[in-house]
Structure 1
Amino acid sequence: MFRTDIDVEKIVDGVFWLKDPNEVYCYLIVGKNEAMLIDCGLGFSDIKGAVRKLTQLPLKVVITHGHVDHFGGAWQFPQIYVHKDDCRLLNDIQRSYALRKLFLKAGNTAKDTPVSFSEFGNKPKPEIIRMNGNESFDLGDKHVTVHHTPGHTFGSVAVIDETDKIIFSGDNVCDALWLMLPGTASVEEWLPSAQWLYEMSKEYAVYWGHRSGKLESDYIKQVVIWGREILALYKKNDRISKFRQYPERSDGIIFRTGNIYKKGNKR
């Protein structure tokens, strides 16, 4: 079953919020000469069709990070841009039945739609264009840059619409932030990326990949504070890593006690 019920909301002229039925969000920037799709959902929805209802311009597809809920729809496109540090993660997730199942069954789409994981794995694979995290794209009357923000994954990036002052941050700062999966940076390595996003949020609107969609500056600041408090609570990585959530509330940061500091670092 291929879903077509993708809601579209205009953020500003030429910038659209595409809402996959399971609260996995994609964003479209339409310039004068080219367009850019930021993330492409799980792959069970006609994201390409939704884009083509909005523009027929040549399209670039940029992936904020290598988790299947953000690149699963990439099979609908010939090329995708991915940070070089997430290329291996992306390929590992495509090959791993267990990891695909974890992400796919986390959303409402997978619950509502009959899912064949083997069929999903056999979809066409696009050409991957590796990014360094300092790219710049001229779409015509809209200028877009990419900033490397390691944390939720080592290759996470923020995509910045410089013209409209909007940042699309993926899942690197959010409620119930995941810093516990394979391919995740330590809390110490993530914190500068979160601090950067907070500073930018004073002048830029910030949109992420799920639930509320838009992130307010005050909330980003709070998540940064929680990260600092985690570093204050733990002086080194635990030898036996355990899952923890801090603070112990539904939107706290989820991390592993063996991955608080970059390997070899401690306080």
Structure 2
Amino acid sequence: MKKRSAIPLVGNAMLLVIVVNVFGQSSVTPADPWFRVDKLRDGVWRISEGDIDNMYLVAGRDSAMLIDTGLGIANLRDFIKTVTPLPLIVVNTHAHLDHSGGSYQFPRVYAHPDDFDMIRFFGKKQFRKYTVSSLQVDLPDSLKFPVYDSLYNVNLLPVRDGQIFDLGDRKIEVIHTPGHTAGSICLLDHKDGVLYSGDTNNGLVQLHPPDALPLEVYLQSLEKLANRIGFHTLYPGHDLPFDRDFIREQIECVRQIISGECDGVPYESLAGARVCGYGRARVSYDPEKIAVSSR
């Protein structure tokens, strides 16, 4: 019997959990322009929209990499062209709609295959419209993607752990870090010593949504990162940059949850989660999804 995808089963419930937890319930007034760009270092820019998420544009000699595609409610494709004319490689760190929502604007997007179904699910026209209505955003026509109302099928290409993207004078390595989602990845820039970590290393890492994996899996991913050399700075999907010592604080936070040393406090969410903290790190979690066997 063919295994049935779990994505349609969680459907709108998962979407609502993610929207409430990521965006809250406040309205967002679109900036003019909608996208804000900050140069972080030579050839590296952080692109944010409404202070909701971080995307990163990393330029090499021959090509550039766009890390994540944001909400998908404005014309990201043409905005990128105002920053760099280089040929573009687009990579999603994971499937959630605030990171993969704009993928439909590009001819091909790389992601981990464990998140393919969810990227396609959140890439549907109705979810882009739902995002706009949830944020109470009324974009001017000049900021809209030309085919905003069209349903595009994203051409997804798989990445694998250890894969290298060569941008010319800059090599970026894929590191598979399941936890926040099954297909979460980090991207290690060997030239700058920077880890683009998606939602794996936020100040608050959410492991309570239905698509998150047990804490034991996430702990293994953190330990994998802690044992890597070659980077000193984390550029997360939300928040400002962290130094790599932050990973050790995350590890201790998760270990205390698993051991029971931290029982947590209620976390305001639709999933009835709890949250623990250690140092700068906070993790929200489902008490029923601690061990791998509980998945």
Question: Is TM-score (shorter-chain normalized) higher than 0.5?
Answer: yes
1:131-142 mapped onto 2 (5 Å cutoff): 131-142=159-170
1:220 Cα deviation from its structure 2 partner: 2.7
Letter in 1 for 2:217: E
- TM-superposition CA deviations, 1:78-126 (whole Å, max 9, x none): 110010111122233345968995x7678xxx24437xxxx97844232
Question: Of 33, 38, 41, which aligns to 2:62?
Answer: 33
Aligned equivalents of 2:282 and 2:129: distance in 1?
24
Does 2:231 align with 1:206?
A: no
Corresponding residue for residue 25 of structure 2: none
Does 2:252 align with 1:225?
A: yes
* Residue ranges of structure 1 left out of the alignment (5+ in a row): 235-240
Corresponding residue for residue 237 of structure 1: none
1:215 Cα deviation from its structure 2 partner: 1.8
Corresponding residue for residue 293 of structure 2: 263
1:234-253 mapped onto 2 (5 Å cutoff): 243-247=273-277, 252-253=282-283
Residue aligned with 1:231, SS: helix
CA pair 98-2 structure 1, distance change in 2 beyond 3 A: same
Residue aligned with 1:263, SS: helix
Alignment root-mean-square deviation, CA? 3.1
Does 2:135 align with 1:113?
A: no
1:46 Cα deviation from its structure 2 partner: 2.5
Residue aligned with 2:219, SS: helix
Contact 2:125 2:149 in 1 (8 A): no
1:76-155 mapped onto 2 (5 Å cutoff): 76-94=105-123, 101=130, 110-113=135-138, 122-155=150-183
Contact 1:93 1:100 in 2 (8 A): no
CA pair 146-8 structure 1, distance change in 2 beyond 3 A: same
Residue aligned with 1:50, SS: helix
Aligned equivalents of 2:203 and 2:133: distance in 1?
19
Instruction: Give the TM-score taking structure 1 as reference length.
Output: 0.82
1:214 Cα deviation from its structure 2 partner: 0.8
Letter in 1 for 2:253: W
Aligned equivalents of 1:190 and 1:100: distance in 2?
32
CA pair 100-192 structure 1, distance change in 2 beyond 3 A: farther
Aligned equivalents of 1:19 and 1:242: distance in 2?
29
Aligned equivalents of 1:122 and 1:25: distance in 2?
25
CA pair 250-217 structure 1, distance change in 2 beyond 3 A: closer
Aligned equivalents of 2:237 and 2:46: distance in 1?
10
1:25 Cα deviation from its structure 2 partner: 0.9
Does 2:34 align with 1:9?
A: no
Does 2:227 align with 1:166?
A: no
Q: Could you tell me the percent identity over the aligned residues?
A: 28
Residue aligned with 1:178, SS: strand
CA pair 113-176 structure 1, distance change in 2 beyond 3 A: farther
Does 2:104 align with 1:75?
A: yes
Contact 1:44 1:73 in 2 (8 A): yes
CA pair 104-172 structure 1, distance change in 2 beyond 3 A: farther
Residue aligned with 2:169, SS: coil
Aligned equivalents of 1:140 and 1:257: distance in 2?
46
Deviates most, 241-250 or 178-187: 241-250
Letter in 1 for 2:63: E
